[in-house]
Amino acid sequence: MRIGVFDSGVGGLTVLKSLIDEYPNNEYFYIGDNKNNPYGDKNKDELYKYSTKIIDYFITIKIDLIVIACNTICSNVYDLLKEKYNIPLIGVIDATIEEFIKSNEKEVLIMATKATIDSKVYENKIKYYDPNIKVLSIATKELVPLIENQEDTKPIINKYLENYSNINCIVLGCTHYKLIQNNFNKNIKIINSSDGIIKQIKKYIKDSKKEITIYTTGNEYLFNKLCYKITGMKAKKLVL
Ligand code: DGL
C-alpha cells in the first residue's frame, strides 16, 4: 500500500526507518517539511496550515494511509485533521504512551518541543490512564535545530537534566530525539516515539511493491547528510 509519512525535518525518518524495517513491501513517501522547521515554536494555525498542505499533497498522489511522525502536529492539531480528512491518519503519541505504560514506571520526565509540552497532551493522557503517575516535563527548545544542523547536543542535554538527577525514565516526545538517544545516561530508561508505532499500524498494512521516495521542502544538501545516514537514501526537493 501507499504510505505517506511526514515531519518537520529529519526526525520522522526514525519512524520511516522503523516502518521500512518492519513492513518492507510497501510504497513509502516521506516529506520532511524543512522549509518550516522547527514546528516546535509554531502556533496551532501555522501547524494546521503546514500539515494540511502536506496531507492534501499526499491525497493527490493517492496515498492510502498517513503516519504523522511528529509529536508537535499530533499534540496540537490531530483532532482537527481527523475531522477534516477521511484517510486513515496514524499519530505517534498514543503509541509512545503505550510503550511508557508497559514500562510500569511511576514517574516520568517528558522531553518535547515547546508546542507539545504546552499542549499538555502527554501529561493529560498519562494521568487519565493512572492519576498516580508523576509526570514532569521540559520544553527542550534548543534540541531540534541542533539535531537538524548535526551539532553536539550533549552539553545542552546535561544542562536540561541538571535538576532531574533522580529520574529513571524519560519519554522522548519528539521524533528528532531518537537520533540523540545515545547521548543520554545508559542507566535511564528511554522511551522514544518510533518503536510503538509499528504495532499501531499493523492492522492497516497490505503488502504491495517496495518503493521509497523521500522529499524535503528545504535544503536537500543539508537534509541529505542525515537522511543518508539514517535511511541509506537521498531525498529530492519538493515545492509545496
Ligand atoms: N519531530 C517533531 C516532533 O516530533 C517536530 C520537531 C520540531 O520541528 O520542532 O515534535
Over 90: is that where the pLDDT of 207 sits?
no
Q: Which of 24-33, 113-122, 195-204, 221-230 has the lowest mean pLDDT?
A: 195-204
Binding site membership of 174 for ligand 1 (Cβ less than 6 Å): yes
Overall number of domains in the chain: 2
Summarize the confidence of residues 5-11 as an average pLDDT. 98
Q: Do 141 and 108 share a structural domain?
A: yes
Atom of ligand 1 nearest to the CA of 116: 10
DSSP letters of 161-226?
HTT-TT--EEEE-SGGGGGGGGGS-TTSEEE-SSTTHHHHHGGG------EEEEEESS-HHHHHHH
Q: Do 184 and 155 share a structural domain?
A: yes
Q: Do 216 and 143 share a structural domain?
A: no
Provide long-range contacts, Cβ within 8 A and 24+ apart, for 16-19: 16/69, 16/212, 16/214, 16/231, 17/194, 17/230, 17/231, 18/194, 18/195, 18/197, 18/198, 19/67, 19/197, 19/198, 19/201
CATH label of the domain that carries residue 103: 3.40.50.1860
Binding site membership of 11 for ligand 1 (Cβ less than 6 Å): yes
Q: Do 130 and 183 share a structural domain?
A: yes
Binned at pLDDT 50, 70 and 90, residue 77 comes out as very high
Summarize the confidence of residues 126-138 as an average pLDDT. 97
Query: Which residue from 30, 41, 70 has its CB within 8 A of the most atoms of ligand 1, so it is best to mutate?
Result: 70
- Residue pLDDT, tens place only, 42-68: 999 999 999 999 999 999 999 999 999
Instruction: Report pLDDT for 164.
Output: 95
Instruction: Report pLDDT for 8.
Output: 98
Atom of ligand 1 nearest to the CA of 70: 4
Q: Which residue range forms the structural domain that includes residue 66?
A: 2-91+197-237
Binding site membership of 39 for ligand 1 (Cβ less than 6 Å): yes
φ, ψ for residue 63, nearest 5 deg: -75, 140
Instruction: Report pLDDT for 180.
Output: 97
Q: Do 115 and 157 share a structural domain?
A: yes
Instruction: Report pLDDT for 199.
Output: 87
Contact between 127 and 133 under an 8 Å Cβ cutoff? The reply is yes
Q: Which of 136-150, 159-173, 193-207, 214-228 has the lowest mean pLDDT?
A: 193-207
φ, ψ for residue 90, nearest 5 deg: -105, 125
Determine if the pTM surpasses 0.95. yes
Which residue in the block uniquely carries the three cell numbers 500500500? Answer: 1
Atom of ligand 1 nearest to the CA of 38: 8
Nearest to 180 by CA among 109, 103, 111, 233: 111
Instruction: Report pLDDT for 195.
Output: 82
Name the 3-class secondary structure at 133: coil
Element (H or E) spanning 32, and its range? Answer: strand 27-32
Contact between 15 and 194 under an 8 Å Cβ cutoff? The reply is yes
Over 90: is that where the pLDDT of 74 sits?
yes
Between helices 93-102 and 121-129, what is the axis angle to 10°?
40
Binding site membership of 38 for ligand 1 (Cβ less than 6 Å): yes
Instruction: Report pLDDT for 38.
Output: 98
Residue 20 identity (one-letter amino acid): I
Instruction: Report pLDDT for 232.
Output: 96
C-alpha 172/C-alpha 167 separation (Å) is: 13
Instruction: Report pLDDT for 67.
Output: 98
Q: Do 129 and 64 share a structural domain?
A: no
Q: Do 135 and 180 share a structural domain?
A: yes
- Residue pLDDT, tens place only, 147-200: 999 999 999 999 999 999 999 999 999 999 999 999 999 999 999 988 889 988
Average pLDDT, the chain: 96
